[in-house]
Structure formats: C-alpha cells, structure tokens
Amino acid sequence: MNVLLIGGGGREHALAWKLAQSSMLDELYVAPGNPGTVRHGRNVKLDLNDQRALRQLIIDKRIRMVVVGPEGPLVDGLHDRIAADAQLKGLVTVIGPTASGARLEGSKEFAKEFMFRHNIPTAQFRAFGKDQLPEAIAHIGRMEGPYVIKADGLAQGKGVVIATDRKEAEKALNEMLGGSSLGAAADRVLIEQHLVGVELSAFLITDGEAFKMLPSAKDYKRIGDGDTGPNTGGMGAISPVPFAEKEFMGKVHDRIAVPTIRGLRSEGIPFQGFIFMGLMNVGGDPYVIEYNVRLGDPEAQAILPRLRSDLMDLFEGIATGTLSERHVDVDDRSCATVVLASEGYPGKYATGKPIVGLEMVRAAHVFQSGTALDKDELVTAGGRVLSVTAFGKDIEHAIINAYASASLIEFEGKRQRMDIGRDLLQATAGKGGGAAGMKLGVK
C-alpha cells in the first residue's frame, strides 16, 4: 500500500521510520518531510490548501492512506476535504479525524463541554466571550488563585497562562479578550479550576468503535532544567511513566478512554486516528487537562520505538473498521528521548549551523525535525533540531543511553535539558516505590 504522511517534524520522522518497517508498506511519501524522512520514503512538496494538487498526488502516486501528523490540517478540515472529493471517493483512508472530531483539540470549550456531558473527570471551568471581560474579571474576583486562563483555540502552546495572583490573571484576561497576538484563538477564554498533581500523557488509537491503548509518556515542556523558563513544544520524553502502572492506567481506561470513545459515538462524531490525553494524576486519580487529536512531539519519538506491533496493521484496522481484532504489543523496556535545540529557542535562534556526529550514534535512534540540507551538508533549520531516543532496561539506563548518544552530536548553539526523566528516578527511588513517591508532589 502507498501512504502519504503529512508533516515534517520529529514525530513524522518517527512515524516514517515505524511505517517503513512494515511489510504492508509499498511506497511512502512525506509532505513536506525533512532530511531524516528521506531515508524511509520520498519527500514531496505539497500545498495542503491546493485541493487539485492534493488530489493529483493521491491519484498519480496511487495513495491509499493519508496519515496526518500535526493537528493544524485536521482542525482545518483536511480529512473532510479528502472525503468530500468526488474523484477520491472510496479511494483513501485518512488517519486523523474530520474537523468535527478535531474540535476536541481545536476548541478547549468544546472539549470541556464534551467531558462534562460524558462525566469525564476534568477541572471545573467557565468560558467567556470577547464582550464579557468584566464578567471574567468578576469571576476571578470570586476565586482563589492560582488562576488557569486558556485561549479557546489553537495557540501553539502559548494559549495557557497560570497566574499566581489576581493582577496577573486580569492582565492575561485583558490581553486575550482585548485582542492579543493570539488573535481569534483567544476570542473566547476559559478560566479553570487549578489542579495539582503530576502530568503525564496517555495515547489511544481508534477506528471510532474500538480503541487500543498505546504506551504512556511524560514530556518536559519547559526549556530549562527543573521545569524553568518558557514553554516549548517539548524538550524530551520518557516512556513508560512509572506511576502509570496497572491500577492507574485501569482508571484512565475506564474513566477516560471508554467514555471518550462512547461519547464521540453517541454524538455522531466519527473519529479515526490517535487521541492524546494530557492527564494530571491528582492523588492517584486521572483528570484530563486537554485532548489532542494526534500523537505528541516528542512523545511519539519515545513511544513508537516501544511499539512492537506493525503500525500499518493498526492503520489497516482503522481502514476496515476491524481495529478490535488487532493487537498492540509493547516492548517492556523504557525509552528516553532528549531533544537537541538551537540556542535561543523557544525565542529567536540562528539557523544554518552544520550538524556533525550523527553517524557516530549507534545505540540510539535520531529523529530529525529542524534540519535542512545545505548542498550535501546537514544544517540546523529550526528551534528543535533533532531528538535522540534510546532504550534501557529501566528508565535510568534509558536516560544514560540517550544522553551518551546525544553527546556525540554537535552543532553551534546546541542546547538540551540535562534533567529529562530525573524527577521520575527520584520518584521511583523514594520509599514505597513509584506511586507512593509520586504522591509526594514531585513535579
């Protein structure tokens, strides 16, 4: 089968690498891809808004499956456009939801209301529109801090402010509802109850009827060690998460995954693809912080290597509505992913810096994201340049291996967090083991 993969980050490099291992795959096309995906398929240029070009590519290359990596095209209705194209009718399966399902990520207010309709544990909230700034400020006045203020729409990780005092909260509300750099994404804002706990990400794959849980992961969003500095797309990930053991994951399955899939079905919202549940472990109980309708980046780089099953087989299960008959087999070992970024990220950074040492990495996977070829030379081309994923028999060894391999790669301005997974080590080393350690409030 010929597959078109949409995206060009580390997540898509990991997806391309995983898909390329399948005997069910014939040709893989990646749009736009990056220098890393070239090893597993052919990179193609494609303007996703150009329906004719998209249709032509699908027809010319005999593509039967379109796998969408990032959320943007899904929220924009890429799946819907492919499904509605008369010339493509019945020809392709899209892995990734239609726009109606993508609202789980594209509108935080929709996601919240959905969770309340289906009794899925999440923080209490209220939503306010552009003309309700006084009401929003009055609402803050009745609450205790810290205040969680979120733009409703997609804001590339910049749409959440956690304000410790009222003044800061009012400023955030003023900025968002008063027309900020977030634009229409902040036309509505949510004020949420502040939850305290440890965050982790759970993933599932679904054909809209059945679903299968995938490995859990924890990502490290802040740029600096000890979770300091601004938020990024993610600076590293660990899979599995030690406190996400059987009992906790059983609660995630029963209280979150099952009602989410049942809720989508009962509301007539078709959904095929991944659901990423951003969770908070509050005293041993999972709460949903947010849904995403795709895999995470860099979480994908930490979970896909642990997936023993053929990903094409799972996608085929989606295509034929037979996911329930497929198996998800997971490697028991741990994976650690360390992101190498450009100095200055998530702010301004330089590009075009030669990257050396990749060929020295033997004991880890290197997934490229912000890279480019300058003639034959690999150079930096983005904030997050690449990620290094290594296995270990436990988290500690995975971390040691990932850092050892990451140290072989050099480029000017290379930056990385040095503490990926350290909090989890402290937690598991604590008296009484993982779950007990985590409850001590390690974050």
Residues near ligand AMP, by CB under 6 A: 123, 148, 150, 160, 162, 192-195, 199, 278, 289-290
- Residue from 434, 362, 358 nearest 394 by CA: 434
The site partner of 297 among ligand GLY, ligand AMP, none (C-beta below 5 to 8 Å per kind) is: ligand GLY
CA distance 216 to 250: 12
Please select the residue that binds ligand GLY; options are 109, 207, 219, 423, rule is CB under 6 A.
219
Instruction: Name residues whose C-beta falls within 8 Å of residue 335's C-beta, 6 or more positions apart in sequence.
Output: 237, 238, 239, 302, 303, 305, 306, 389, 390, 391, 392, 398
CA distance 188 to 329: 42
Closest distance to ligand AMP from the beta carbon of 179 (Å): 21
Long-range interactions of 429-436: CB distance < 8 A, separation 24+ = 434/242, 434/243, 434/245, 435/243, 435/245, 435/247, 435/248, 435/284
152 binds ligand GLY (CB under 6 A): no
- Single out the residue of 299, 310, 316, 423 in contact with ligand GLY (rule: CB under 6 A): 299
Token pair, residue 276, equals 């990423």
Signed CA dihedral, 245, 246, 251, 253: sign only: positive
Q: Distances from the Cα of 318 to the Cαs of 100, 257, 275, in angstroms?
A: 18, 17, 13
Q: Which is nearer to ligand GLY, 69 or 197 (CB)?
A: 69
Q: Return the one option of ligand GLY, ligand AMP, none that residue 71 interacts with (CB less than 5 to 8 A, by type).
A: none
Residue type for position 345: Y
Residue 9 interacting with ligand GLY (CB under 6 A): no
Kindly state whether residue 69 participates in binding ligand GLY, applying the rule CB under 6 A.
Answer: no
Q: Min. distance of Cβ 297 from ligand AMP in angstroms?
A: 14
How far is the C-alpha of 67 from the C-alpha of 77, rounded, in Å? 14
Identity of the residue, 13 or 218, whose beta carbon is nearer to ligand AMP in the bound complex: 218
Residues 221-250 binding ligand GLY (CB under 6 A) are: 233-234
Q: Of 122 and 301, which CB lies nearer to ligand GLY in the complex structure?
A: 301
Least distance from C-beta 292 to ligand AMP, angstroms? 8
Of the two residues 10 and 286, which places its CB atom closer to ligand GLY in the complex?
10
Indicate whether 192 belongs to the interface with ligand GLY (CB under 6 A): no
Binding site for ligand GLY (CB under 6 A): 219, 233-234, 292, 296-297, 299
